[in-house]
Structure 1
């Protein structure tokens, strides 16, 4: 292992991009701690590469340079009086500054706490409030932020009474002398991870070095990492899929990575595919369903994808973080097959922050595999009556449990269900969290005898896991269960809608009964047309549920999303009930 008091010769770094190939022997994340992983990666010439909105290289950042900067920050943190076990909150902007501060905290024995960037929904006050609740939960001794977010960050820090400074100012701090940096053990906390839905009641997942490295090792084994692989990502670093899957995993596996900022991807999504096309090696790149959807929609019907892209070397097109839509995946294949994209490159997965990241991954090359499940089975209603037509939903296979992870499907009374029995998904393994930080009640509510209740519903079939939805999202009407995504997908089949335009949830009607409510982004201005649209949506939902829903047409970009970009039905419901979402006024 490298002596952290010795500087590495940065002549190992090459001009331009950090290389894809490297003679330095690869290790599959078999390290005791994250600091050791960076020590080893720094001996090679690979590293991070940061790009602007058009995909032009802004800065190559070899792991050797990251290590030097991180060691300097570690000693600066010690100079500021921070001690082992203190929390260091920092806004997770995709760039070398965050990476250096994050690993500086690791080397100093601190617990870095990545916090989200602002989203387009909610404005300044909502973002400041979100920072406040996370600062309150994590109780950091220092809060770091980029200068451009100083207004938000300082407001949140003042409300919570937390010391704060922009990370550009760290260069003014004299590093502590040549003292030995604290050592961290495998079972000590490496960092705190807040889930993407953390808002009013945030849950900080305490991730140990052992859990992290075991999960990263499993990820490398499951994806069959190759010497020619290179990671390309736009995913945010405050979300587990972005932080663990696309920042920490490439480093621990000694893979070079190319990054777009998430906001740049939102403005120019096809720049993501440009980066993949320019990679002469094989590409590893991941996205939730909506990322593939927005790329397909941006392609003009008059433009051939082959004229701009070469996606033939995209080895693993990972898909996770939300429900995987088969129709969206097929649309992506249809849009980019002539550019060399192969459907077999799709790699569905299932994971969550409470399991560090990966629970299951589809074996490379198997692509999207579906099973058709009858609606009544999904809702728990049993075998349907023969007199009514059967409706089916295509459920995507999310792969096999990764090394060291076990999955069980349990019924309402905790009983183990057989293959194809739909119930709660429970997982156990070395990568499962030790608990939520300073929240024993929430930890006890989801943990039992080393098993984690994920809150997801699914079933096993032939050793593969199939996820059907979140238990808390279930809409129960007259004793019958309905999945909100089934209602949303049905409405999306009407002309003019896209993924993310609809949020379905249950509300209490005037007589105390549960009623389905559907909020829909509306781009139609004519009042009569809006009325017809509302009636069409009601008829669609009535066909699914048998009940006339409350349908509200709302302005585009109104429905809230989590920090990772997923639709937040819970927040949409709350904002609707409090009057913060104002629907269009449509005459009855």
Structure 2
């Protein structure tokens, strides 16, 4: 039996009655112990095996409610299968296109079965129309309990995690039982989680690796108290996040940049003293690359009046290819910034220290977790030392052996086991610092300009929606390489206001990076392409804007 499943079983038997999962907030909260989740999972697993699920068979899950997803994914693991959380359609999704993409995903992972739960059970006729087999989660729990767990090895797939790119060209990270056990135990140990005391609070989507692994699989496997709501509850009223931390004594949470900035803004409008108590929070993980200092300051500044300690900010580096977490910053140190000379960084790929009032600033993300090695490799292929900038490569027990793609499996590691991440960064005292993504770096006259510097500058202009500015490469890799800036604004339909915005954004960007965008495009809110997890898609935005810029030049 894999160590991961063995740990699940041990937790259910020894600690299952003590800790559990609370769902249904804020309307109908209900708590189930992990033992109750396991009991339901056994019945569901029995039904899956009786229904013919083969060992290491791939099962897709399409549901939103954590109370239904938790026992379902555990059931798949107990039955010896692998789990894939499907990307969920939204109100603006073309359902015919979504169904076509979903069929491609199912074929890619070789799955004939979708476990369907609320609110997506209404899509059953659409699945029937496209020949997609499914079982309803509310019916699956009526099976006879599994009497003997299906044994699989450490190399068997446990999670086929869809990447955050276009679902029309899908790719899944193959996370094995060994990968999962290594990473989740390293996270629990490094974060010094006390399973008797800690309470995890999360609204992150379960089709994303941070939500699925970090805030469902980890607490369910280790036996940690969890309060779980859906992104719909958070986006419908962001202050529910602070409310849940207050009422349940939350000690651990996580979110991307935009959510911390949003919560900070909402807290700024709360005048009632003692409305929230955030003093219990000890770890507020931020794994976005790069971490936005302004978002962090907004969160800690406004949270302070409700007892929030700035040192609870917990910068991290993570990616699905390493199961989830690569590195954690030292506990209780808050956000540490490394200030470097911009010219040396851009021209020489050297992160030379600079004063806090000058140069570029990047978050320090800590040392690699137990079982993971990191190195920096220059374009020449040479492994370079500290403060030399290059591609981050990883090796270790948590690193995936490969992807599944529509064209078949693809290995991720070289002959020595190293994974090329595509992230550009450097090491400081053994700690990882990320500058950006290799594919996004803009090269002008031998200078490496990071798009995040451009985007942050654009977002300082009044009228630009926070978190909705993208710098895109045009004619990438050619002598004519340039860049454009695309922003969202509520002023997009006001011609006079747009003219002022373009001028101000161009000037602010020039001040920041000493280069002017070839174009500044202002779009209505909701126009920029984003991944299912909410991240801006630079490549997709670049394709759209590049075509329009070239058309205007011709």
Fold shared per TM-score above 0.5 = yes
TM-score, normalization: structure 2?
0.90
Aligned with 1:288 (options 234, 256, 259): 256
Q: Give yes or no for contact 2:402–2:412 (8 Å, CA) kept in 1.
A: no
* Residues 259-291 of structure 1 deviation map (CA, whole Å, 9 limit, x = unaligned): 1101211111110111111124x5111111111
Unaligned runs of 5+ in 2: 352-356
Q: How far apart are 1:518 and its partner, in Å?
A: 1.4
Q: How far apart are 1:123 and its partner, in Å?
A: 4.5
* 2:141 maps to 1:168: no
* Residues 233-262 of structure 1 deviation map (CA, whole Å, 9 limit, x = unaligned): 011111111111111111222111001101
* 2:278 maps to 1:311: yes
**Cα 1:252–1:466 shift into 2, 3 Å:** same
Q: Give yes or no for contact 2:290–2:362 (8 Å, CA) kept in 1.
A: no
Q: Give yes or no for contact 2:485–2:517 (8 Å, CA) kept in 1.
A: no
- Which residue is equivalent to 2:449? 482
- Which residue is equivalent to 1:60? 31
**Cα 1:139–1:502 shift into 2, 3 Å:** same
Q: How far apart are 1:214 and its partner, in Å?
A: 1.0
Aligned with 2:21 (options 19, 24, 48): 48
Q: Give yes or no for contact 1:33–1:213 (8 Å, CA) kept in 2.
A: yes
- Which residue is equivalent to 2:327? 360
- Which residue is equivalent to 2:235? 266
Q: How far apart are 1:121 and its partner, in Å?
A: 5.7
* Residues 503-532 of structure 1 deviation map (CA, whole Å, 9 limit, x = unaligned): 1101249x9833312111121243212111
- Which residue is equivalent to 1:73? 44
Correspondence list, 1:434-583, <5 A: 434-437=401-404, 443-444=410-411, 447-508=414-475, 513-524=480-491, 525-543=493-511, 544-576=513-545
**Cα 1:121–1:324 shift into 2, 3 Å:** farther
Q: Aligned partners of 1:95, 1:416: CA distance in 2, in Å?
A: 44
**Cα 1:203–1:228 shift into 2, 3 Å:** same
Q: Give yes or no for contact 1:86–1:141 (8 Å, CA) kept in 2.
A: no
Q: Give yes or no for contact 1:305–1:335 (8 Å, CA) kept in 2.
A: no
- Which residue is equivalent to 1:222? 190
Aligned with 1:404 (options 371, 382, 385): 371
Secondary structure in 2 aligned to 1:225?
Answer: coil
Correspondence list, 1:73-222, <5 A: 73-119=44-90, 122-125=93-96, 127-150=98-121, 152=123, 155=126, 158-159=129-130, 161-171=131-141, 174-175=143-144, 180-222=148-190
CA RMSD of aligned residues (A): 2.8
Q: How far apart are 1:198 and its partner, in Å?
A: 4.9
TM-score, normalization: structure 1?
0.85
Secondary structure in 1 aligned to 2:443?
Answer: strand
- Which residue is equivalent to 2:306? 339
Q: Give yes or no for contact 1:231–1:258 (8 Å, CA) kept in 2.
A: yes
* 2:8 maps to 1:37: yes
Q: Give yes or no for contact 2:350–2:388 (8 Å, CA) kept in 1.
A: no
More moved, 524-533 vs 351-360? 524-533
Q: Aligned partners of 1:277, 1:48: CA distance in 2, in Å?
A: 17
Q: Give yes or no for contact 1:288–1:322 (8 Å, CA) kept in 2.
A: no
Unaligned runs of 5+ in 1: 2-30, 385-389
Secondary structure in 2 aligned to 1:33?
Answer: helix
More moved, 417-426 vs 43-52? 43-52
Instruction: State how many pairs are aligned.
Output: 539
**Cα 1:472–1:119 shift into 2, 3 Å:** farther
Q: How far apart are 1:404 and its partner, in Å?
A: 1.1
Q: Give yes or no for contact 1:304–1:338 (8 Å, CA) kept in 2.
A: no
Q: Give yes or no for contact 1:231–1:246 (8 Å, CA) kept in 2.
A: yes
**Cα 1:120–1:373 shift into 2, 3 Å:** farther
**Cα 1:328–1:489 shift into 2, 3 Å:** same
Q: How far apart are 1:376 and its partner, in Å?
A: 2.9
Q: Give yes or no for contact 2:327–2:369 (8 Å, CA) kept in 1.
A: yes
Secondary structure in 2 aligned to 1:71?
Answer: helix
Secondary structure in 1 aligned to 2:534?
Answer: coil
